[in-house]
Amino acid sequence: MPQLTNRLDWLAGRGLEIVLIILGSVLLARFVTWVGRRITDRIDARSTGGDVLVRSEAAKHRHSLTQVITWSLVVLVYTVAAFYVLERLGVPVTGLVAPATVLGVGLGFGAQRIVGDVLAGFFLITERQYGFGDVVSIQVVGGGDPADGTVEDVTLRITRLRSADGEVVTVPNGQIVKVVNLSRDWARAVVDVPVPTTADVNRVNEILREVGRQAFGDAGLRRLLLDEPSVMGVESIDLEQVNVRVVARTLPGRQFEVGRDLRERIVLAFRRAGLTLTPAPPPDPASGPAGGPTGQPARQGAP
């Protein structure tokens, strides 16, 4: 009977305190997460006006920084709650310092990758290498195909991307060896137009310049362009074709959309002028995959 009374007293005292601490930490963590989400939503709404691709660099950094601070505060809340729970359970927290030191050293050797991820994430954010909404291509340790997509989440440990196919790609920050930011400040769409070697290059250049003027004059496309598309001239010469390059500076992340529109306009303009585009040569198996006959948009601001 005394034992039952003692247990009831403990449940009514420290047991209730433990339950309240756990419940309070969960509610506080959820509140911090809710506040962080509200702040990031407000940042996105102010910086884009509803467009998730076009953001200022400051807004991208603020969004990523808010996510990191939210994640750090949640971890801090649960850590403090754990110490308070241990104290209510009668576990001497000060007596755990020496064992925790030994355990920390052991975990340090076994968790070097996690520590590396956190340090890499810290420098990624402070150096503003990329932020939420950026279109990036990330090369990881070991080579292989890079991870391409739009940044959806950045924490101190991982970077989460959404690929063009809708797949979610999670990359540990410590495994990143190279980052190509495709939407920093501005981007460039590059279109290589293949024409037969017998074609009049001057006539081709005139048609392409007219296509650029019409594209820049189009109200729907002009909002994506920073200036009028320009014809760079002959980029390469093969036995049966000549590649003429057209470039256009665009808003961040919009080079792909502009490149597709320019290709469509070029095909229609050539058809009206009675000119034809040469087919792409078969890829050389020894040289790896090749680009399409009309080229691909540049991946960063200055190719």
**What sign does the dihedral 241-247-253-256 (CA atoms) show?**
negative
What is the structure's pLDDT at 16? 80
This prediction has a pTM of: 0.54
DSSP class of residue 229 equals -
Choice between 288 and 264, residue whose per-residue pLDDT is larger? 264
Residue 83 to residues 155, 265, 301, Cα–Cα distance (Å): 24, 66, 49
Most confident among 63-67, 125-129, 191-195 (mean pLDDT): 191-195
pLDDT band at 94, cuts 50/70/90?
Answer: low
Tell me: pLDDT of 35 over 70: yes
* Mean of pLDDT values over 36-61: 65
pLDDT band at 289, cuts 50/70/90?
Answer: very low
Nearby residues of 191 by Cβ (< 8 Å), 6 or more positions away: 245, 246, 247, 248, 259, 262, 263, 266, 294, 295, 297
pLDDT band at 88, cuts 50/70/90?
Answer: confident
What is d(CA 54, CA 65) in angstroms, rounded to the nearest whole number?
18
What is the structure's pLDDT at 3? 61
